[in-house]
C-alpha cells in the first residue's frame, strides 16, 4: 500500500481515514494493555504483538503526512508532531511511554495508596503509605519545636504573609513603609517571637527548631543578609582602589571555589577554635553566617555582571552631574544594574533555598533532615520513598513558584530601549 502511491492531496480522501484509524488503533492497543492488561493482538507471535502498535502507528503517520492538505487541523498536526519519519517515531515512542507509565504511577500515588490510619500496620496496599506523612506532618513542618508553642511560628508566618499580601494592594507611598517594616523590623520581631525568652514567652532553643519552618527561616535571613553583602563585594571588586579590589576578589573566589558542605564543616568544627575559649555562638547563627557569606560571593558575581553590562556613559553622566561615588551607585548605577540581572539574582536565591537541606552536617534538621529522622524510626522503617517524594514535591512547588515569580518580575520591570 505504501509503495502504490505517495500520500498526496489527490488520494487524501482514502489515505487520511485509513491513517487516522491505524494511529488510533495503535494507541488503543497500548492503552488497553497498560490500563486493563488486555492484549488485542494476543493471537500473534509475541515479538510481533509487542511491536505491532509501533508498526501500525508508523504506517498511519506516514499515510496522513500530506503537505498543504487544505485541512487546517491536519496541517497543524503534521507540522507539530509528524514532520518526518524520524519525528513520527519519536512521537510514537513518547506517547507510548507516557501511556505505559501512567497506570503504575496512578496506582502508587492514589489507587493502591493508603490514606487512613495511624501506624505502619494500617498500610496494607502496595502503593504509597501517605499515613506516614499524615502522622509525621507536624514534625515535618515544625521539627522538634514543642507542640504547645507552635502557634508562635504560625503567627510569625501569618504576619509575614499578611504584610506581604496587604502591601500589594496599598498605595505606593504606604508600600515603602511596608517594605521597610518587612526588611528592618519584622525579621527581628519574628525571630524574637519564635525563640522567645522574654515577654512571658517560653525560651525554645534553636536545636529544637526544624522542619519546613526552619527552611524558611534560614532562607529568609540568608537572603536578607547576603544581598547587601553581595552588592558591596561586587562594588569592591570593581573598585579602582587596589587593596579593596584584591581583598574582594580573594574573598569572592575563596568562597566560590569550595563546596558549601566544607564551609558548614568549617563553621561547625573549625570556627569555635578561632573564638576565645568559652565563647559559644549558637549553632544556627554559625550556620547562618556560613550560608550568608557563601551565597554573598555568588551574589557578588551576579551583580558584577550587571555592573559590567551598563554602558560607560551612565557612569560619566552621573559624575558630570557632580555625584559622588555612593550617590552615583545608589541612584544611577545599581537600580539599572540590578534590574538587568534579575534572572541571575533569582537563580542565586533559588540555589540558596535548595542548599538549605545541607545544614544536616551540623545536626540541624529542616524538612529533608526530619524525613531522614522519621524514616529511621523503628516503627516506620521502609518509608523513604514516600518521605522523599513528599519533600521533593514541597521543594519543587517552592522553587517553581520562585522561578515563575522572577520571570514575571523580569517582564514587569523590563524597560524597552
Provide the minimum distance between the beta carbon of 216 and other proteins in the complex, in angstroms, as a whole number.
Answer: 14
Locus of grid cell 551607585: 329
Residue 66 touches other proteins, criterion: CB under 8 A:
no
Closest CA to 141 of 125, 132, 128, 154: 154
- Strand-pairing partners, residue 122, are none
Does residue 282 interact with other proteins by CB under 8 A?
A: yes
Cα–Cα dist 54/58, whole Å: 6
Nearest Cα neighbor of 397 from 364, 367, 362 is 367
The 302-341 contact track toward other proteins, x by CB under 8 A, reads ----------------------------------------
Looking from the CA of 364 toward its CB, the CA atoms found within 13 Å total 30
Q: Is residue 224 a contact residue for other proteins (CB under 8 A)?
A: no
Binding mask 88-117 for other proteins (x = CB under 8 A): --xx--xx----------------------
Backbone angles phi, psi at 114, to 5 degrees: -110, 130
Could you say whether residue 151 binds other proteins (CB under 8 A)? no
Q: What is the size of the binding site for other proteins (CB under 8 A)? A: 65
Q: In angstroms, give the least distance from the CB of 22 to other proteins.
A: 18
Burial class of residue 84, CB neighbours in 10 A (0-12, 13-18, 19+):
exposed
> What is the per-residue binding string for other proteins in 247-266, x denoting contact by CB under 8 A?
x------x-xxxxxxx--xx
Output the smallest distance, CB 112 to other proteins, in A. Answer: 15
Q: Which of 151, 161, 396, 405 binds other proteins (CB under 8 A)?
A: 396
Tell me the window of 10-18, 146-154, 310-318, 383-391 that interacts with other proteins (CB under 8 A): 383-391
Are 130 and 115 contacting, i.e. CB atoms less than 8 angstroms apart?
yes
Candidates 224, 238, 388, 410: give the one binding other proteins (CB under 8 A): 388
Of the residues 36, 199, 203, 326, which one makes contact with other proteins according to CB under 8 A: 203
Among 72, 73, 240, 415, which residue interacts with other proteins (rule: CB under 8 A)?
Answer: 240
User: Does the protein bind other proteins through residue 157 (CB under 8 A)?
Assistant: no
Q: Which three cell numbers stand for residue 185?
A: 523590623
d(CA 92, CA 60): 11
CB < 8 Å & 24+ apart, contacts of 95-98? 95/27, 95/30, 96/30, 96/53, 96/54
Calculate the alpha carbon distances from 54 to 6, 23, 36, 90, 211 in Å.
20, 9, 19, 11, 48
**Given the rule CB under 8 A, which residues bind other proteins?**
79-81, 83, 87, 90-91, 94-95, 197, 203, 205, 240-244, 247, 254, 256-262, 265-266, 269-270, 272-282, 350, 353-358, 360-361, 368, 371-372, 375, 384-385, 388-389, 391-392, 395-396, 399-400, 403
Amino acid at each position: 500500500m505504501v509503495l502504490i502511491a505517495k500520500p498526496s492531496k489527490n488520494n487524501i480522501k482514502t489515505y487520511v481515514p485509513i491513517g487516522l484509524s491505524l494511529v488510533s488503533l495503535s494507541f488503543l492497543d497500548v492503552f488497553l494493555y497498560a490500563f486493563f492488561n488486555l492484549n488485542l493482538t494476543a493471537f500473534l507471535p509475541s515479538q510481533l504483538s509487542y511491536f505491532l502498535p509501533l508498526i501500525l502507528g508508523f504506517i498511519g503517520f506516514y499515510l496522513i503526512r500530506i503537505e498543504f492538505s487544505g485541512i487546517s487541523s491536519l496541517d497543524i498536526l503534521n507540522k507539530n508532531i509528524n514532520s518526518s519519519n524520524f519525528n513520527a517515531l519519536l512521537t510514537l515512542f513518547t506517547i507510548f511511554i507516557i501511556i505505559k507509565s501512567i497506570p503504575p504511577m496512578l496506582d502508587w500515588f492514589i489507587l493502591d495508596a493508603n490514606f487512613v490510619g495511624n501506624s505502619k500496620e494500617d498500610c496494607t496496599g502496595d502503593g504509597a503509605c501517605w499515613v506516614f506523612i499524615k502522622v509525621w506532618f507536624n514534625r515535618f513542618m515544625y521539627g522538634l519545636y514543642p507542640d504547645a508553642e507552635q502557634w508562635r511560628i504560625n503567627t510569625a508566618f501569618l504576619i509575614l504573609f499578611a504584610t506581604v499580601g496587604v502591601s500589594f494592594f496599598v498605595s505606593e507611598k504606604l508600600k515603602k513603609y511596608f517594605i521597610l517594616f518587612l526588611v528592618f523590623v519584622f525579621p527581628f520581631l519574628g525571630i524574637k517571637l519564635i525563640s522567645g525568652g522574654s515577654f512571658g514567652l517560653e525560651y525554645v532553643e534553636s536545636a529544637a527548631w526544624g522542619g519546613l519552618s526552619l527552611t524558611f527561616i534560614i532562607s529568609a535571613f540568608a537572603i536578607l543578609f547576603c544581598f547587601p553583602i553581595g552588592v558591596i563585594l561586587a562594588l569592591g571588586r570593581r573598585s579602582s582602589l587596589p587593596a579593596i579590589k584584591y581583598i574582594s576578589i580573594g574573598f569572592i573566589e575563596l568562597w566560590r571555589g569550595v563546596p558549601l558542605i566544607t564551609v558548614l564543616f568549617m563553621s561547625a568544627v573549625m570556627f569555635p577554635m578561632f573564638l576565645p575559649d568559652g565563647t559559644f555562638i549558637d549553632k544556627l547563627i554559625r550556620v547562618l553566617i556560613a550560608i550568608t557569606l557563601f551565597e554573598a560571593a555568588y551574589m557578588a558575581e551576579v551583580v558584577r555582571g550587571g555592573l559590567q553590562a551598563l554602558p560607560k556613559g551612565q557612569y560619566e553622566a552621573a559624575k558630570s552631574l557632580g555625584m559622588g561615588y555612593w550617590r552615583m551607585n545608589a541612584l544611577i548605577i545599581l537600580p539599572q544594574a540590578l534590574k538587568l540581572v534579575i534572572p541571575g539574582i533569582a537563580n542565586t536565591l533559588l540555589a540558596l533555598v535548595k542548599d538549605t537541606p545541607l545544614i544536616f552536617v551540623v545536626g540541624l534538621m529542616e524538612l529533608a533532615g526530619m524525613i531522614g529522622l522519621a524514616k529511621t524510626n523503628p516503627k516506620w522503617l521502609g518509608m523513604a520513598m514516600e518521605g522523599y517524594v513528599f519533600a521533593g514535591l514541597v521543594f519543587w512547588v517552592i522553587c517553581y513558584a520562585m522561578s515563575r515569580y522572577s520571570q514575571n518580575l523580569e517582564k514587569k520591570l523590563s524597560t524597552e530601549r
